[in-house]
Amino acid sequence: MTETSNEFKLNQCPDDGISAAKFSPKSSQFLLVSSWDESVRLYDVQSNLLRTKYSHSQAVLDCCFYDGTHTYSGGLDKQLKVFDVNTSSEITVGNHEGAIKCVEYCPDVNVIITGSWDQTVKLWDPRTPCNAGSFSQPDKVYTMAVSGERLIVGTAGRKVLVWDLRNMGYVQQRRESSLKYQTRCIRSFPNKQGYVLSSIEGRVAVEYLDASPEIQKRKYAFKCHRLKNEGKEEIYPVNAIAFHSGHNTFASGGSDGFVNIWDGFNKKRLCQFHRYPTSISYLAFSHDGSILAIASSYMYENGDVDHPDDAIFIRKVTDQETKPKI
User: What CATH number is given to the structural domain containing 130?
Assistant: 2.130.10.10
Is residue 132's pLDDT more than 80?
Answer: yes
- φ/ψ of 29, rounded to 5, equals -80, -35
CA distance 100 to 9: 28
Chain segment 193-248, per-residue pLDDT in tens: 999 999 999 999 999 999 999 999 999 999 999 998 888 999 999 999 999 999 99
Query: Alpha helices of 109-228 — where are they, by DSSP H?
Result: 213-216
In a domain, 2, yes or no: no
Flag whether 1 is in a domain.
Answer: no
Mean pLDDT of 155-172: 96
Q: What is the pLDDT of residue 112?
A: 98
Is residue 209 situated within a structural domain? yes
Q: From 122, 111, 240, 112, select the one nearest 186 (Cα to Cα).
A: 240
Alpha-helical regions (H) of the chain: 213-216, 319-322
Q: Is residue 144 domain-resident?
A: yes
Contact 138, 153 (CB under 8 A): no
Parallel, antiparallel or unpaired: strands 141-147 and 150-155 = antiparallel
Phi and psi, residue 134, nearest 5°: -125, 135
Do the domain assignments include residue 45? yes
Number of domains observed in the structure of the chain:
1
86 found inside a domain: yes
Closest by CA position to 146, among listed 209, 72, 202: 209
Q: What is the DSSP letter of 26?
A: T
Q: Which domain holds residue 260?
A: 7-322
How many residues are recorded in the chain? 326
Q: Which of 253, 285, 244 is nearest to 21 (CA)?
A: 285
User: Does the pTM of the predicted model rise above 0.85?
Assistant: yes
pLDDT at 298 exceeding the cut of 60: yes
Pick 61 or 266 by higher pLDDT. 61
